[in-house]
Copies of this chain bind each other. A is one copy, B any other.
Amino acid sequence: MKFFGIDVGGTTIKIGLVDEHACILDKWAIKTDISNQGENVLRDIYHSIMDYLKSHQLTLDDIDGFGFGIPGPIKDSKVSFCANLGWGEKDLKKEFLELLGCEKKVKAGNDATVAAAAEFWKQNGKYSDLVMFTLGTGVGGGIIIDKTPLDGFNGAGGEVGHIVVDFKYQFDCNCGQKGCFETVASATGIVRLARYWINEYQTILVDDESLTAKAVFDAAKQNDPLAVFVCEEVGYYIGYTMSMIAATVNPQVFALGGGVSQAGDILLSAVERNFKKYAFKAVRNTEIILADLGNDAGIIGAAYLVK
């Protein structure tokens, strides 16, 4: 079986042909044309795929489904809004089926949910329920329950980045709230915390453009006092937030993905310690893994939706 997984970003659209074993058979990228409220996006994807099929002696009959990952809230394959693409409400499934002109499986999911689906598929039946945090510029969350991605009633299921968990720093969040999880647990949040404490702790870090999350993790590996303290703070917020989610949806496993997860053991051990400290005993042994599908997660997870 063959599926197209389409990872729609604000700059680039990644398109991949994926088989039933989550293997990418081929992939390419096109630019995202966000002019006129992104009205060309779906048509550009359609034409790019049709060109590909033609040049590979394939037809739509060879394809079993089209899955989309979209950076915005989605419910039943309908987009509520998507600032990065200029989209307002959009019935993606209906519009793409009109372009195809034939009955096919078409589904769309939020990009963080799609990343969770990719990790889930990659684990190949090891887990039935998974919650994934994607720690990048912000924090995305994806929830798979009983093998099914959870959209939520407004398409905001798994929007864990906007759970208010910090009452100590109360940094402003882009969403308008203060103290959201992503203000202290994203790559941006880590830099923010390092800057906040830079005069209070000994450190090799310097407050200029060299101060990145990666620089903090590298310094922590050398036992830099500031960097170690920041990793502990971030580990607390991640572990504590996981403990709340564990007592709510009680997943089989938490997966940490995205740039921040590349900190590896130093962060993971702080996360695990804090998770066990705050988690209800019935869920205290929930497994926590590092996920890293890299750049292909969006393609694979999107294909999972129509598998």
Interface contact A244-B163, CB-CB below 8 Å: yes
Complex-state Cα separation, A151 to B245, whole angstroms: 14
Interface contact A244-B247, CB-CB below 8 Å: no
A87 to chain B, nearest CB (A): 15
Interface contact A154-B248, CB-CB below 8 Å: no
Cβ–Cβ < 8 Å partners of A143 in chain B = 248-249
Known: A128-B153, A145-B145, A156-B283. A164 touches B278 (CB 8 A): yes
Which residue of chain B has its CB nearest to the CB of A240?
A: B164
Interface contact B250-A157, CB-CB below 8 Å: yes
Residue of B128, B160, B248 touching A163 (CB-CB under 8 A): B248
Interface contact A159-B249, CB-CB below 8 Å: no
Whether A243 sits at the interface, judged by CB under 8 Å, is: yes
Interface contact B150-A249, CB-CB below 8 Å: yes
Q: Could you tell me which residues of chain A, from 46 to 61, have a CB within 8 Å of some CB in chain B?
A: none
Cβ–Cβ < 8 Å partners of A250 in chain B = 150-159
Q: What are the interface flags for A145-185 relative to B under an 8 Å C-beta threshold, 1 for contact and 0 otherwise?
A: 10000111111111110111101000000011100100000
Interface contact A247-B283, CB-CB below 8 Å: no
Q: What are the interface flags for A277-294 relative to B under an 8 Å C-beta threshold, 1 for contact and 0 otherwise?
A: 010111100100000000
Cβ–Cβ < 8 Å partners of A128 in chain B = 153
A231 to chain B, nearest CB (A): 21
A-side residues, CB < 8 A to B, are 73, 80, 128-129, 141, 143, 145, 150-160, 162-165, 167, 175-177, 180, 240, 243-252, 278, 280-283, 286
